[in-house]
Each structure stands twice: as structure tokens, then as C-alpha cells.
Structure 1
């Protein structure tokens, strides 16, 4: 009924990952989940569609001539033109920042929901909450990084400055767009790693109930890298290990 390609694909992925989950099948579910869970297909799907568009722009650029001047030997012709201008990439890199930052924003909200002590889960996802801080500080970290990403979404491509004695009077600032986009990518990876850390902790606290076979396997593989949090410990190491896990794990 709303056939955006990214939304349809994301909904199918979510359904596939949750198929056979005892937690999904049990009675007493909430009538409505928070938007950060309920709208995953819509939000993630929109970012996916955006990334696909951005990829098409990059592929066109990689297969283009961006020299100046342009030399056409068969026609014995040399033309001074503007294919060197980086505006197509600058605009799409700014767009990519937005698409990625939104994935981080909604991920941080899910992390917040998981540690908030609702729906039968203990506050901060730890036994003896109050004595132990649990995963509280991970949400602080995710919130801080998500906020930085929002600041990095200020577009670089709206800026320009004159150089070369006025000859180069409009520039794309594409390099600046690329630099901050790389920062957004790195930040997003850490935000998602924190969500993985909290989500796996929450699933283990739901035992003996189980999720789907695919998710249970993912949790088992993840536990080879990051152990269950029984009591307060240094979390920076867990986050770093989670980032490495995300970068190497095959979700197929």
C-alpha cells in the first residue's frame, strides 16, 4: 500500500529475521510500539532509497570525463568546459550525511527504549540496577555521537569562496562534504554497535524465551566477542569489539 522500494525491502528483511521468534508470537504484546521500532521499514527504507540514488550518481561520475580542457583529437578540437566542477558529488555527499545520520538517530532512540526499564526489562539492562549502572553510559555515548552527526549534516555544498583572482568564483566544497561524510559513517558504525550491545543484553534477559533461529545464532556468535554484562565494567572495550564485529560479520 506504500510501495517505496527501500521500505518494501526493509520490511521483508525484518520479517525474515523475526520469523519463528517466540517473543513475537507470545500473547500480551503492546498495541503500538514506539516509532523507533514500528517505523523501521519506513525510516531505514527511506535511507536505503537515498543511498541507492547516491550510488547511481557516483557510478555516473566514475564513468565520466572530468578533465579540463576536453580534448577531441578526431575532431581536432579543444574545449574549455566545466566538467571538473564537483557539484554532483558535493550535493550527494551532503544528502548521504542526512540519510546516514537518520539511521543513527533512530538507532539511538531504540537503545534508549531498551535501557529505560520498561516492558519487563530491568533499568539499564543489568541485574541489581542501582548498585550497577549497567549499560546506562552506552546510551549517553550514542546520544552524544548522534548529536554530533546532526551538526555534521550542515551542508558543505551551500558554501563557496572565490579564488584564482576571481576566475574560480564558485566551488562545490565537495572535499569538505566528503570529509564530514566519512565522520558521519564512522559515527554511525559506533551508534549501531551500541544498539547491538544493548539489544543482545536485552534478549538474554528475556530467557528462557527465545527469538528467531537467525537472531539466536547472531547472539551466540556475538557472545564469542562480547560477554554478557553481569556487573559494571569498562564498556569502551565492549563498544570497540562490537564495532569490529559489525564490520566483519556476514548477515547473509
Structure 2
């Protein structure tokens, strides 16, 4: 990124940058190296297709791969038939952010070289992003072996047969166009860019929520007079999983300003086993992000145009089993740590842990925050449902020629939905932790945990009488992104300070 503009070069795009383009509408520009890679692949594709059969260029697609098509560099009809027939998705349209993420990923993939698509497409896609336009893309149509319906719809927008959509709900309008040749039709749509774009957004959100969860858990531990003993370095050196060690270190740093007298010899699992449960979520989401990053910077094209070897290779890189399995694992791990958040919430309504009335109520007969547990478990129920592995499904398509699918598209969508449930569960815990500390008159002593507490206390309603808590939950949910910064607090003070 340079001067608030993200350079798309085919090799260095990260999930967080995809999210910035998709959500903040940061301008993009195509890097010269990426444009040159695309140009060289385009030239080699044209030369190779003149002397040998190439799938999708001189043949039909799917089970029609054995049907020969007479290659003509000026022909447009064959490609149009392909695009029109494949632009047949169904259901609600993808959200504006997901559609922008798809365009960003496909632009970067084309800049990686290997597709053989006319390099002029790169400029058209960049212009589309910079104008804030997206194609109308129905949600249903892909199963992890290529987002054919989504990208066929995009191609028809480039050809002017369909109108682009705006971000301001102004409806459809014309936009940048490009005359795709027939030989480029399959090459343009043979990609998982929509799936990868949504996956990039989801893992970016999960990383933020996992960091925020550590801060919220530290606030809860302080509110219940918890012990710091479970986070001691020697404990995690004895069982050195990377995520576990990272979480324990973050908790030590957040709580370094406190000198608590533990309320009990051993805390419940929500505190005592937090590194061991939250750590796997950190590790699996990190693995998922690395997997998705690798894919969005890959020339995962079929056929792959090999510039160095001056040939093409028919292959299976269109299959995103790695992505689907990584996201499936991430959701399972996130459910585990979300359930632990609900367990901590359970301690925050108990007088034996907080020293307050039951449910942190104003009186013994008031309900206080009783309903927060119901809301949290309702949200976590969805996270649990969504944790079912999408990879357990498969499909046989196109007259038996395409006999497997990993459903990574469904895995990405489930991960997006799981993010929403996890966010609500954490928000409920945050409301309860801050309310307990406020009623106890025990804000954290200092450091990043005090900063997080004060940030939350400033915007959360201080009233403790029985009242609707929906606004509190919404405020806390919006606050989590800002709290996530506290996951990497400054150096704590020396002991005894």
C-alpha cells in the first residue's frame, strides 16, 4: 500500500488488505509487475492455443470437454454462450462488501499470471473497484470448485449485457466495460474469487474478535477475583502450543498491573483453561488466514499458462479443499472459545464470584443481567450449528466427470455467519464484566486493561435498575474492534511497582 492506495501485484495481497478494499473502499492500482505477468501469459496462451487443444478455449467445458470448438481469435459467440449459460445463480445477492472482495481477489489472481486473460481486464476491474461498483451476484451457485456463476455475471457486466450495482443503493448503472474474447471466457470465470473474498473478510473479523476476547476475559477475571496462576510462563512452557503461549502471555501483560488476592484455590475452566481453549482458536484462524492468503496470491488457474515452459497445464488447482478444511477447523475452535465466554458470563451473575446481588441486580428481587445468558447461549447455539464441517458434503456433477466437491463456498458463508454469533456472545460478557467492576468500584489499576475498561465504561449505560439491555449489547458489540488493540499491550511495569 502506498499513499492510501493498495497496489495489486499478484504476489503480496493479504486478507486484511482485501477487507480494507472491500469495506473502506481504499483505491487500488495494478502494479506494473503484475500487469506484465498477465501480458506475458496472454501472449503465450494465444501462441499455444494455435498449435494444440486447450480446455475451454478450443473445447467445451465440463462433460463437453470432448467437444471441439474451432478456434478463431476474433470469435465472440462461443464465449458469450458460455458466459450466458453460466450466469445462472440464485437466491439473494451477495453483499456489497463480499462482491468487492471478490473483484479484489480476482484482480490479484489475474496479476499473478497464469490465466492467459487479456491484460486489459485488469484495468477494467480496478476501475470498477475505484468507482464503487459491483456485479449482481446471487449467493447460490458454487460448491468450492469455482465461482463460475458469480464470475460469469461479472463478465456479462464487463461486456455491457448486465448493469453494475452501486454501493449507495442507487440501483443499476453502466460502468467500465471490456470486450472479452471467446478464448478468455472460461479463463476469466475459472476462479474461486468470491469464496476466497468472503473467507478473507471472515478470518479478518475472527482475528479481531479473538484479540478482543482476550481483553474481555481479562476484565471478567478481574471482576471475579480470579487467580493469575494459570497464566504463569512455566505452565505454558510445560505444554508449549504456540497459540496457548500467546494467549497466556497476552493475559499476563493485560493483568500485570494487578496484584490480586485470588478468591479461590482454583478458578472454573472459563479462566483456568482459557489459554488451552482460546489458543487453538488463535492457531486455527491463523492457519486459515495463511491458507487463504496463499490462495489469493496463487495463479490457481485451469488450464495454467506456463510462461517459462511456453505451454499450458490442465490441472486441479481450482479445488479449494485446503480453504474449506481450514475454515471448518476455525469454526469448530471458535465455538469452543465462544462456549467458554458463556461459562465466564455464568460466573459474573453469581454472588459468590462477584460479591454482588444475583445477576448483578439492584436488589435481591430484581433480574439485573439475567437475560444476557439467554442471549449469549442463543448466539452460541448458532455458532455450534455453523461449526458442522462443510467438507462432510460432496457432489457428482456434469455427467459424472466432476465427481467431487469440498463445499468451501458454504464453509466461507458459515464462517461469516459464525462471526456474528461470536460477536454477540462476547458483547454479552463485556457488558457483564464492566457492570460488575463498576458496581464493585474496582476498575483495573492501570495499563491497557484499565484503558479498555474506561473505554467501555464511557459508552455503556451505567444504570443498574431493571431496563432493556439490547442497546447495551449493541454498543458492546460495536466496541469490540477497538478493544482488540489491547491484545498487544505495552510493556508492563516491573514487579513491586
TM-score w.r.t. the length of structure 2 is 0.48
Higher RCO structure (Cα 8 Å, ≥6 apart)? 1
Q: For the Cα contact (< 8 Å) 1:101–1:149, is it kept in 2?
A: yes
Match of 2:256 in 1: 19
Give 1:212-227 correspondences, 5 Å limit.
212-214=445-447, 215-227=449-461
Q: For the Cα contact (< 8 Å) 1:103–1:188, is it kept in 2?
A: no
Residue 20 of structure 1 deviates from its aligned partner by 2.5
Match of 1:70 in 2: 304
Q: Report the Cα distance in structure 1 between the residues aligned to 2:407 and 2:471, rounded to whole angstroms.
A: 36
- Out of 344, 360, 366, which is 1:125 matched to? 360
* CA offsets 1:97-140 (integer angstroms, 9 cap, x no match): 1121112110011001111332323211121132x211111110
How many residues are aligned here? 247
Q: Report the Cα distance in structure 1 between the residues aligned to 2:472 and 2:263, rounded to whole angstroms.
A: 31
Residue 66 of structure 1 deviates from its aligned partner by 1.4
Does residue 205 (structure 1) correspond to residue 442 (structure 2)? The answer is: no
Q: Report the Cα distance in structure 2 between the residues aligned to 1:121 and 1:77, rounded to whole angstroms.
A: 73
Q: Report the Cα distance in structure 1 between the residues aligned to 2:450 and 2:362, rounded to whole angstroms.
A: 21
Match of 2:334 in 1: 100
Residue 176 of structure 1 deviates from its aligned partner by 0.4
Q: Gaps spanning 5+ residues in structure 1: where?
A: none
Does residue 4 (structure 1) correspond to residue 238 (structure 2)? The answer is: no
Match of 1:40 in 2: 274
Q: For the Cα contact (< 8 Å) 1:70–1:79, is it kept in 2?
A: yes
Match of 2:482 in 1: 248
Query: Closer, same or farther in 2 for the Cα pair 1:109/1:2, shift >3 Å?
Result: same
Q: Report the Cα distance in structure 1 between the residues aligned to 2:294 and 2:279, rounded to whole angstroms.
A: 23
Q: SS at the partner of 2:434?
A: helix
* CA offsets 1:172-197 (integer angstroms, 9 cap, x no match): 11110000111111111111111110
The Cα RMSD (Å) is 1.6
* Greater helix share, structure number: 1
From the CA coordinates, give the structure whose radius of gyration is larger: 2
* CA offsets 1:180-222 (integer angstroms, 9 cap, x no match): 1111111111111111100111112222x44331333322221
Match of 2:283 in 1: 49
* CA offsets 1:74-102 (integer angstroms, 9 cap, x no match): 43322211000011111111111112111
Q: Report the Cα distance in structure 1 between the residues aligned to 2:317 and 2:430, rounded to whole angstroms.
A: 43
Q: For the Cα contact (< 8 Å) 1:17–1:212, is it kept in 2?
A: no
Which stretch of the first structure deviates more once superposed, 62-71 or 170-179?
Answer: 62-71
Q: For the Cα contact (< 8 Å) 1:134–1:229, is it kept in 2?
A: no
Residue 157 of structure 1 deviates from its aligned partner by 0.9
* CA offsets 1:115-168 (integer angstroms, 9 cap, x no match): 1332323211121132x2111111100011112211111111120112222222
Q: Gaps spanning 5+ residues in structure 2: where?
A: 1-237, 490-497
Q: Report the Cα distance in structure 2 between the residues aligned to 1:129 and 1:227, rounded to whole angstroms.
A: 21
Q: For the Cα contact (< 8 Å) 2:284–2:326, is it kept in 1?
A: no
Q: Report the Cα distance in structure 2 between the residues aligned to 1:76 and 1:234, rounded to whole angstroms.
A: 68
Q: For the Cα contact (< 8 Å) 2:302–2:316, is it kept in 1?
A: yes
Query: Closer, same or farther in 2 for the Cα pair 1:9/1:73, shift >3 Å?
Result: closer
Q: Report the Cα distance in structure 2 between the residues aligned to 1:100 and 1:193, rounded to whole angstroms.
A: 15
Residue 21 of structure 1 deviates from its aligned partner by 2.0
Q: For the Cα contact (< 8 Å) 1:193–1:239, is it kept in 2?
A: yes
